[in-house]
Amino acid sequence: MQSRDSCACFFDRGLRFECQQCGRCCTGEPGTVYVAPDEVKAIADSLGLPEEAFIADLLYPFRDGYSIKEDKQGNCLLYAGGCRIYPVRPRQCRTWPFWFKNLRSRYAWKQTASQCPGIGKGPVYTRDEILACMREHGSGLKT
């Protein structure tokens, strides 16, 4: 019997991706950007804010952690012509676009690529790297 990771996938030879910081996944429609409790300090530090101020001003409680607040148009408050916290962005953002919903089929990947200009550019992520991102994301949250 094959393990789940040994199945044939359309991305067995890898996929190219490099974030273009275009903001398409950060702006324009409401969503939830989950921030785990263990991610708060690094993000607050990168913004030069005390954790308490970061939480009060830019986050709201969600599940066992937080979500980043948005403006009325659904834009992430930490996106301003680029991600203000890119080096320490939440796990959910770091693993994009390698989420199960985007990789469940070649068709789903092509649909995602039509919205994300970083797909098809940059380095090749190996199958193992892609599966690791999928496992790391693992939350099932929608954006």
Same domain, yes or no: 66 and 38:
yes
Residue 29 pLDDT level (bands cut at 50, 70, 90): confident
Confidence bin at 28 (pLDDT 50/70/90): confident
Whether 60 is in a domain gets the answer yes
Token digits for 22? Answer: 């275009």
Question: Mean pLDDT across the stretch 44-52?
Answer: 98
Is position 112 within any domain? yes
- The answer on pLDDT for 5 being more than 70 is no
Q: Is residue 72 part of a domain?
A: yes
Determine the structural domain holding residue 80 and report its residue range: 28-85
Q: Is residue 90 part of a domain?
A: no
**What's the mean pLDDT in 6-27?**
92
The string of pLDDT tens digits covering residues 49-76 is 999 999 999 999 999 999 999 999 999 9
- Pair (15, 32) in one structural domain: no
Total structural domains within the chain: 2
Over residues 8-22, the mean pLDDT reads 95
- Residue 23 Cα distances to 33, 61, 115, angstroms: 13, 24, 11
Q: Is residue 91 part of a domain?
A: no
Q: Tell me whether residue 118 is in a domain.
A: yes
Q: Give a yes or no: residue 109 inside a domain.
A: yes
| Residue 79 and residue 104 in one domain | no
80-125 confidence digits (pLDDT tens): 999 999 999 999 999 999 999 999 999 999 999 999 999 999 999 9
SS (H, E, C) the chain: CCCHHHCCCCCCCCEEECCCCCCCCCCCCCCCCEECHHHHHHHHHHHCCCHHHHHHHHEEEECCEEEECECCCCCECCECCCECCHHHCCHHHHCCCCCHHHHCCHHHHHHHHHHCCCEEEEEEECHHHHHHHHHHHCCCCCC
- Do 60 and 80 have their domain in common? yes
Residues 33 and 79 in one domain: yes
Position 131 pLDDT exceeds 60: yes
Averaged pLDDT, 36-52: 98
pLDDT at 4: 53
pTM: 0.85
Tell me, yes or no, whether 139 and 109 share the same domain: yes
Report d(CA 119, CA 97) in Å as an integer.
8
Say if residue 55 is in the same domain as residue 75. yes
Same domain assignment for residues 101 and 78: no
